[in-house]
Amino acid sequence: MFELPKLPYAYNALVPVIDEQTMRIHYEKHHGGYVEKLNVAMSGLSQYEGVPIETILGKLDTVPQAVRTAVRNHGGGHANHSLFWTVMGPHAGGKPSGKLEQAITQTFGSFEAFKEAFSAAALGRFGSGWAFLVVDEKRLGIVDTPNQDSPILEGKTPILGLDVWEHAYYLTYQNRRAEYIENWWSVVNWREVERRFAEAASQ
Ligand code: MN
pTM over 0.85: yes
pLDDT at 70: 98
* CA 102 to ligand 1 centroid distance, Å: 30
Which residues lie below 8 Å from residue 20, measured CB to CB, with a gap of 6+? 11, 12
Cα–Cα distance list, 42 to 117, 130, 157, 165 (Å):
37, 24, 23, 25
Ligand 1 center to 27 CA (angstroms): 8
Virtual torsion, Cα 126, 132, 134, 136, nearest 10 deg: -10
Separation of 37 CA from ligand 1 center, angstroms?
Answer: 15
Note the pLDDT tens digit of each residue in 155-173.
Answer: 999 999 999 999 999 999 9
- Measured in Å, residue 78 CA sits from the centre of ligand 1 at 9
pLDDT, one tens digit per residue, over 27-55 is 999 999 999 999 999 998 999 999 999 99
Mean per-residue pLDDT of the chain: 97
For 86-105, write each residue's pLDDT tens digit.
999 999 999 999 999 999 99
Say how many Å lie between the CA of residue 45 and the centre of ligand 1: 26
How much is the average pLDDT of 125-140? 96
Q: Which residues, in sequence order, are CB contacts of 197 under 8 Å at separation 6+?
A: 99, 100, 103, 135, 159
In the reported structure, the alpha carbon of residue 3 is separated from the centroid of ligand 1 by a whole-number distance in angstroms of 16
Q: What pLDDT shows up at residue 180?
A: 98
Please give the pLDDT value at position 36: 98
Q: In which band, very low, low, confident or very high, does the pLDDT at 201 lie, cut at 50, 70 and 90? A: confident
From ligand 1's centre to the CA of 160, what distance in Å? 14
Please give the share of the chain, as a percent, with pLDDT higher than 70: 100
Ligand 1 centroid to Cα of residue 109, in Å, is: 30
Q: How confident is the model at residue 203 (pLDDT cuts 50, 70, 90)?
A: confident
CA–centroid distance, 165 to ligand 1, in Å, is: 6
The pLDDT, as a whole number, for residue 68 is 97
In the reported structure, the alpha carbon of residue 106 is separated from the centroid of ligand 1 by a whole-number distance in angstroms of 31
pLDDT of residue 66: 96
User: Does residue 179 have a pLDDT over 80?
Assistant: yes
